[in-house]
C-alpha cells in the first residue's frame, strides 16, 4: 500500500480558507519544533489543503486532522493536510492527489478482480486534445484491448450513503462525457470511485448538489461505462483499497 513519506502529525483544524489553505493547531509532537521554526504555544501552522471540493462532512472546524511534513525549502507550505478523523472513528482521506496511486497499486497487485489480466498500466494518458485519463490498462501491449479508468476521491457523507460530488464539478462532467464517448466506440471504460472514509452503506451520486453530474453518470452507465466503488483502507502510515461497495444509480 502507498505509504506516507513521513510520520503524520496530529492537529485540530481551526479553519480552511481560500480552498487551499488551512490553519491547524498542532496537538502532537512535530518535527519543526526542534528547529525553532514554530514559536507559538500552542503551535499553529498553515497547511496546504490539496482538495478543491467543499469538504463537507470531512473538514469542519474543530476536527482532528493529520498532516504530513516536508521541509523542502522550495515549498511555500511545509505541511499538507492528509487525513481527517471521522466522527465515529476511522480516517477520511482528503488529499485528492493520492487516490490515483492507491488504485494503481491495487490494480497492479491484483486486488481488484475485474481489472486483472492486463499486461501494462500507464497513468495520466491523453485521451483527447483536452483530457487525460488517470489510468489506461493494455491487455497485451498491442493497444487494441484497452481499459480506460477515471478515478474520483469520495468523502461526502449523506446518510446512509457516501456520495459524489461534494461541489458542482464541470471537470468531472467532462470526464464522464469522455468515458461515454470511448465506451460508445467500444473501448472498455471505468468510472472508479474510491470511497475514502470507513462509514456509509453504499455509494450514490449527490443529485442534490450537482444534478447534471448525476444525470451524466446515469447516461454513462447506459452507454456501457462501468461504475465501480471501492472502500479505501487508510491508517496513519498507509493507504490501500479494501472491498467493493454497492453503487446505487437511480
Residue 196 is assigned to a structural domain of this protein? yes
User: What is the per-residue pLDDT across 76-106, written as a single tens digit (0 to 9) for each?
Assistant: 999 999 999 998 889 999 999 999 999 999 9
- In this model, does residue 2 exceed pLDDT 80? no
Residues 235 and 219 in one domain: yes
Residues 22 and 141 in one domain: no
Residues 157 and 209 in one domain: yes
pLDDT at 15: 97
- In this model, does residue 33 exceed pLDDT 80? no
Please report, for the domain that includes residue 83, its CATH number. 2.40.50.580
Residues 116 and 208 in one domain: yes
Identify the domain boundary among 93, 121, 150.
93
**Does an H or E element contain 79, and which?**
strand 79-85
Give the C-alpha separation, 93 to 74, whole Å.
Answer: 25
Q: Is the dihedral of CA 159, 61, 229, 240 positive or negative?
A: negative
Give the C-alpha separation, 115 to 103, whole Å.
Answer: 11
| Grid cell for residue 195 | 470511497
- In this model, does residue 247 exceed pLDDT 80? yes
Identify the domain boundary among 93, 113, 147.
93
Residues 23 and 60 in one domain: yes
The domain containing residue 235 runs over which residues?
99-248
Residues 166 and 239 in one domain: yes
- In this model, does residue 146 exceed pLDDT 60? yes
Residues 82 and 150 in one domain: no
Residue 120 is assigned to a structural domain of this protein? yes
Residues 117 and 220 in one domain: yes
Listed residue (127, 234, 246) closest to 178, CA to CA: 127
Q: Which of 86-90, 163-167, 172-176 has the weakest average pLDDT?
A: 86-90
Residue 117 is assigned to a structural domain of this protein? yes
Beta-bridge partners for 87: 89
pLDDT at 239: 94
Average pLDDT over residues 8-30: 90
> Quick one: pLDDT band at residue 31, thresholds 50, 70, 90?
low
Please report, for the domain that includes residue 142, its CATH number. 3.40.1350.60
More reliable by pLDDT, 71 or 164: 164
Q: Considering the chain, what percentage of its residues have pLDDT values greater than 70?
A: 94
Residue 4 is assigned to a structural domain of this protein? no
Residue 112 is assigned to a structural domain of this protein? yes
pLDDT at 228: 98
How many domains are contained in the chain? 2
Listed residue (166, 161, 152) closest to 103, CA to CA: 152
Question: Burial, 180: exposed, middle or buried (Cβ in 10 Å; 0-12, 13-18, 19+)?
Answer: buried
Give the C-alpha separation, 126 to 133, whole Å.
Answer: 6
Residue 136 is assigned to a structural domain of this protein? yes
Residue 139 is assigned to a structural domain of this protein? yes
Identify the domain boundary among 93, 123, 150.
93
Residues 106 and 207 in one domain: yes
Residues 223 and 106 in one domain: yes
Residue 2 is assigned to a structural domain of this protein? no
- In this model, does residue 32 exceed pLDDT 70? no
The average confidence (pLDDT) of the chain is: 92
Residues 230 and 216 in one domain: yes
User: What is the per-residue pLDDT across 191-234, written as a single tens digit (0 to 9) for each?
Assistant: 999 999 999 999 999 999 999 999 999 999 999 999 999 999 99
**Does an H or E element contain 174, and which?**
helix 170-184
pLDDT at 34: 39
- In this model, does residue 35 exceed pLDDT 50? no
Residues 106 and 138 in one domain: yes
Amino acid at each position: 500500500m502507498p505509504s506516507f513519506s513521513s510520520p503524520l502529525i496530529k492537529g485540530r483544524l481551526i479553519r480552511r480558507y481560500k480552498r487551499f489553505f488551512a490553519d491547524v493547531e498542532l496537538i502532537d509532537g512535530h518535527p519543526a519544533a526542534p528547529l525553532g521554526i514554530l514559536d507559538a504555544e500552542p503551535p499553529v501552522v498553515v497547511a496546504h489543503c490539496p482538495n478543491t471540493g467543499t469538504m463537507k462532512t470531512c473538514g469542519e472546524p474543530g476536527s482532528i486532522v493529520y498532516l504530513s511534513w516536508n521541509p523542502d525549502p522550495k515549498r511555500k507550505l511545509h505541511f499538507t493536510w492528509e487525513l481527517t478523523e471521522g466522527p465515529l472513528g476511522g480516517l477520511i482521506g482528503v488529499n485528492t492527489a493520492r487516490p490515483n496511486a492507491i488504485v494503481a497499486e491495487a490494480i497492479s497487485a491484483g486486488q481488484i478482480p475485474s481489472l486483472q489480466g492486463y499486461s501494462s498500466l500507464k497513468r495520466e494518458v491523453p485521451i483527447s486534445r483536452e483530457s487525460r485519463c488517470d489510468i489506461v490498462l493494455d491487455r497485451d501491449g498491442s493497444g487494441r484491448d484497452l481499459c480506460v479508468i477515471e478515478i474520483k476521491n469520495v468523502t461526502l457523507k449523506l446518510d446512509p450513503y457516501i456520495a459524489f460530488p461534494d461541489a458542482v464539478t464541470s471537470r468531472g462532467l467532462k470526464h464522464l462525457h469522455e468515458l461515454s464517448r470511448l465506451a460508445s466506440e467500444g473501448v472498455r471504460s471505468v468510472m472508479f470511485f474510491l470511497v475514502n472514509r470507513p462509514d456509509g452503506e453504499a455509494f450514490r451520486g449527490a443529485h442534490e448538489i450537482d444534478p447534471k453530474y448525476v444525470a451524466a453518470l446515469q447516461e454513462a452507465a447506459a452507454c456501457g461505462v462501468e461504475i465501480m466503488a471501492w472502500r479505501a483502507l487508510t491508517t496513519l502510515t498507509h493507504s490501500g483499497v479494501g472491498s467493493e461497495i454497492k453503487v446505487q444509480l437511480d
